[in-house]
Structure 1
Amino acid sequence: MTEAASCTPTARRAPERSDDGIRWRQLWELLGILTISQLKARYRRSFLGFLWSLIVPLFQIVVIGFVFQGLLQHNIPNYTIQFLVALLPWTFFNDTVLGSCPTYLRFRDVVKKIYFPRWSLPISIVTSSLVHFLLSMVILFAVFLIIPVDFDPIFLFLIPLTLIEIVMLSGLALGFSVLHTYYQDVEYALGALIRMFFFVTPVMYPTSEIPEGYRYVFLFNPMATICEGFRGVLLRQELPLPEHLTVATVFSIICLVVGIVIYRRMSPQLPEVL
C-alpha cells in the first residue's frame, strides 16, 4: 500500500457515502495528517527542503528586478519589495491550482480500495500550500524589520484577504482535481492559462502603472484584488476598494459552490475511472 494509505487512520472499507457520520474532529485529524504527508512528499530526498520555496521566488525577483530597473530603467519605487509582496499570494494560487490537478491519480490506490472523505485530498493541497504561504509571510515580515517598514494594525486586514483566497482555492482544487481525473488535458490547459493569467494580474507591476481607462478591467480579476490588496495594506497602509473586495468575495464563493457541485457529481465514479 502506498504512503498515502498509511496516512488515513480514520479510513474504512465501504462505498462512497455521506460524510455526516464522521466527526469533525476526525476530519480535522485526517486533513492534518494528509497535509503533513503532502509537505513531506514535496521535499522527499531534497537537501534544501523548504528553502526551495524561497529560493525560486527570490531568484525570480532578482531577474525581473534586474530587467525592469536595470535594463528597462523602470522607476517604480521599492520595486523589489513591491514585487515580493504580490508574488507571495500569487505563488499560493499557482501552487495550489496546479498541485491539485493530479491529486487523485497520485492517490489512486487509496481511492480505489479504501473509503474516506475523498474531498480531503485536494483540500490537503490547499492547506499544505497555505503552510508554505504563511512561512513565506514570516520571512517577509523579517525583511520588513530590516528595511524597516512600520508595522500597522491595518496589517490585520491580510487575514480576510487570505480567507477570500482560501475559499476560492478550495473550490478550484475540488473542481479541477476531479476534472483532471476524467480529462487529463486539464492540467496542461491550466498551466498555459495560468502563465497568461500571471501577466494580466498586477504581480510584476502595481495597478498605478496601468492607464486609468483600463483599470476597471482588473475589477473582474479576483487575484488582482488580492495581490494589489496585499501591496496596498503592507506598503501603503491602504485598504482595497469596497467594490473590488465585494467582487473578489462573490467570485470566491461562486468558485467554492461550483467546485462542490462538480465534486459531488463526478466523485462517486472516481474508483471506476482510476
Structure 2
Amino acid sequence: MSEEPQEPEGPRGGDPHGDDPLERAVWRLRSRACWDDAAALLAPRAAREPGPALRRTAVLIEQCMFTGEGWRAAEDALRTAEALATDDEERGAAACERGHLAYAATLLGVRDRADEARSALGRAAALLAPGSPNRPVLNFRRGLIAHHLSDNPSDATAAFERAHAGATAHGQRLLLSFTWRHVAAIAEHDGRLNEARYGFAESLRIREELGYLIGIAPALASLASVLPDAGEAERLRTEAGRLVRLLGGVPAWLANRLPAPAPTGRPEGGG
C-alpha cells in the first residue's frame, strides 16, 4: 500500500481563503513547514481563548507528524486547550486532539498510547453533537485507528466515508484531500487501481488548489505508485523529491524514499 501512515492525519484549522487575517497567516506558515512561527502567531490568543488554543495544538501536532519532533510542546498546548474548554463542543474538540496526539505517538513508535487514543476519541464522540463541524475529523481519526492500529479495513472505510460526507457538507476541503487519499489507499491495497488513481488524483488536486505545500509531495508519491506509465510516475516522484528538499526535508518519513537530485556537473555551492 502506498499510503504512508506517518502523514499528519485529520487536519484542523482555518480555511486558507477565509476572511480572518490571523488564520490566513497561520495557514501560509503551516503549509510551508513553519510550524513554530504559526504557533507563535496564535500564542497570545491561545493563552486565554479555547478556539485559538485548539488551533495552536493542531499546528504543533502536525509538526510532530511531519518531523517526529516537538512532542512536549504539543502536549503542553493540548493541556492548555483542555483547561480552557468551557462547553461540550470545546471539550469534545480537545478530546479529539488528545486522541490524535496519542495516535501519532503510537504510530511513530514514541510510546504505545493506543488505549488512550481510543478512549479520547470515544469521549469526543460522546460530547460532540451529531451536526458538529468537528464530527468529520473525529470520524476520520476513528477510521485511522481502525485501519492502522486495529487492522480493520472495513470499519476504517466506513469511518472514512462518513468523514468524507461530513467534510463535504461542512466545506472542509483540506480534510476531503485526506479522506480521498485514505480511501484510495484502501482501494490500492484491494487491487482496485482505477479507484485508487482517481482518489489520489483528487487528493492532489485539492492540495494544489489550496496551496497545502507540505502535503503535495506525499500526494505526488502516492499517485505515482498507481500510474501505469513508468515515465510519468518517475516524473511525479522526482517532483515530490524536489518539494521535500525545498521544505528542508519534510515529511521526514518521505525524504529518503524519493529520487536524489540529478548531478549538475557544477561544484557544490556553485551558481
Which TM-score bucket, shorter chain as reference? under 0.3
Q: TM-score, normalised by structure 1?
A: 0.26
Query: Which structure has greater helix proportion?
Result: 1
Q: TM-score, normalised by structure 2?
A: 0.26
Q: Which has the higher contact order (CA 8 A, sep 6+)?
A: 1
Rg (Cα) greater in structure: 1
